[in-house]
Amino acid sequence: MTISVTDVPIRQLMDSIARVMKFKWRRSGEEGKWIYRLDLNYKYLLNKEAKHDLSDQQIEEAKAKKRADGLAEYEKLMNLTEEEKNDLQKTNPYLYLIADTGLGKSLGKFFEEAPAVFDAIANGRMLELESSSLSATAQSSLMALMRDMHSFDQIMLRNDRPELDILRPSKITIEINNSLDPDSPFSMPTYQLGEIRVRYYHGQIDLDLLDPLSKTALATGSMLLDAREQQDDSYEIPEDQLMEIWGASATDRKDEGKPICEPLIEHPDNPDFHEKITLDTESRKLPDLQLAFAKAAKLSIVSDYYGARDSLLGVLREETQIGWVLDLLCDTFNYNWDKQGDIIEFQDRYWYTKRLNLIQESRIEAWREDVRKNGSIGLDGLAQISLLTKGQYEQNVENDEELSRTAAHARDFGNPEILKLYASLRQDQRTAMLSSEGLDFSTLSEEQYALMKPLRKSIGNEILEAANIVSIACKKERGEWTTGDAIIYTFTPKVDGVPTGPEWVLPVPVIKKDDKKQDKGIQKQKPKN
């Protein structure tokens, strides 16, 4: 919490703390020896939990409806007349391009022949399917789809990719909605229904299924249609069109259902808050800004704090009205403010979701201690961090001043999978992985072997089937990285002792003891209640 009060009755202070933190308070003892206790308000939390569950259900229902409506528009493309297709050029240029490249028909045909793929997209699920499991008709539809995906891809990227060279139609892997993987560094945009990735012997080709009814799809279609009509490789997309797409995607994101949050509190104009102040701090951290505000405005404040990224809010160097400063702070950090008696109370509008993502302080402190002692988090600590959900990582690691920099690459593409495998290993297996010979796959349990899926995929099934010994070795060394001094872990897959396939590189920046933040003014606070 952040508290700064002067000449405030203890009862009023306790009321504010309880209100901000959703607690109840009580007093015991005797005159001069009072003991004040704060207890969780379970009734309030249970009510909030019920609202949270309802909100999640409503969000999922809205997403399901959006997918159903969008896929229905794609299905219509299978039987378009020429006149209907030309009408789309004016009403929905994105769908027009899908239809004009033949992608609409081949996509619909493949959905008919491979209903599992359609169901995965319609239900927002991940799916991996080998083409060998499909019927001959479905494999033929897949080939047609890949050719049309390639044609559409050329329009999207506006370059000459090599023609598809598919030697073995039965040796293809179809992956649906990879970005739904909790370990994915990317999340599926709100204006997208799903994604299709087709891996074949010489590479891969991707198709992002935009919601054809979204503002992003309409703006993207207009831009691509204009670019195609230019028929000039040197043509550059006008900046105003790029800004239009950016604005459309921002609007689509804004319209999406978000985690439950408190409604914004509107405030009538208050002459008492017309006085102008200047914040005496260079910091961009919320607690520092709040304390500077309390000092400059000569007001008492009580605030919750569940951690927050440093804001891009510029330092208020000029005199600014108190009310405007309050609104600016709350808009920047997604907070509410309200005046209760003599105290300004700040509450995180997303406090419930953030509280759910909190983990034990003792675990976080152990990682911090590792950084203080060694300058970085060790492999064991990073493996523990890899087991956190995305929300837990953002809340407890990414928002932590001591951990955020040294653990910055733990969730880079591919790294969570490798770290989760390491987390599952016994001590003797970890020792083997860190040796030059590496960890033999044959020593893995069934559960551990399943975690090796990304690594096996990078090597290739054919190579694995022909190999006698497959292993993975981790080399640890200290060196320079783009961010400076770092511990660099390199994970190398080996087939019969020979390095094979891509390596996974995990840099862990080293924080030197004299490498301190240059923030001036008020001292930083610990980012936990």
pLDDT in tens, 330-365: 998 999 999 999 999 999 999 988 988 999 999 999
Q: pTM for this structure?
A: 0.69
Residues in CB range of 179: below 8 A, 6 or more apart: 186, 187, 188, 195
Whether the pLDDT of residue 110 is over 90: the answer is yes
- Tens of pLDDT along 460-512? 777 777 788 989 999 999 998 887 899 999 999 999 989 887 888 999 999 87
* 3-class SS string, 231-267: CCCCCCCCHHHHHHHHHHHHHHHHHCCCCCCCCCCCC
Q: In angstroms, rounded to a whole number, what is the distance separating the alpha carbons of residues 529 and 509?
A: 27
How many angstroms separate the CA atoms of 396 and 419, rounded?
Answer: 18
pLDDT bucket at 525, cuts 50 / 70 / 90: very low
Local structure of 96: helix, strand or coil = helix
Q: Which residues contact 222 (CB under 8 A, 6 or more apart)?
A: 93, 241, 244
Beta strands 498-499 and 504-509, pairing class:
unpaired
Instruction: Write down the residue that tokens 């950090």 correspond to.
Output: 333
Specify the 3-state DSSP secondary structure of 153.
helix
CA-CA-CA-CA dihedral for 386, 392, 398, 399, to nearest 10: -160
What tens digit of pLDDT does each residue of 429-441 get? 999 999 999 999 9
With H, G, I as helix, E, B as strand and everything else as coil, classify residue 82.
Answer: helix
CB 467 within 8 A of CB 440: no
173-176 sheet: strands from edge to edge: 127-130, 173-176, 192-200, 203-210
Taking Cα atoms as reference points, which of 175, 107, 117, 176 lies closest to residue 141?
107
Of 33-37, 178-182, 447-451, give the lowest mean pLDDT range.
Answer: 178-182
Residues 262, 349 contacting (CB under 8 angstroms): yes
| pLDDT score at 340 | 93
- Positive or negative, the Cα torsion across 181, 182, 187, 188? positive
pLDDT value at residue 202: 65
233: pLDDT confidence band, cut at 50, 70 and 90?
Answer: low
CB of 474 within 8 A of CB of 491?
A: yes
Of the pLDDT bands very low, low, confident and very high (cuts 50, 70, 90), residue 329 is very high
User: Confidence band (pLDDT; 50, 70, 90) for 522?
Assistant: very low
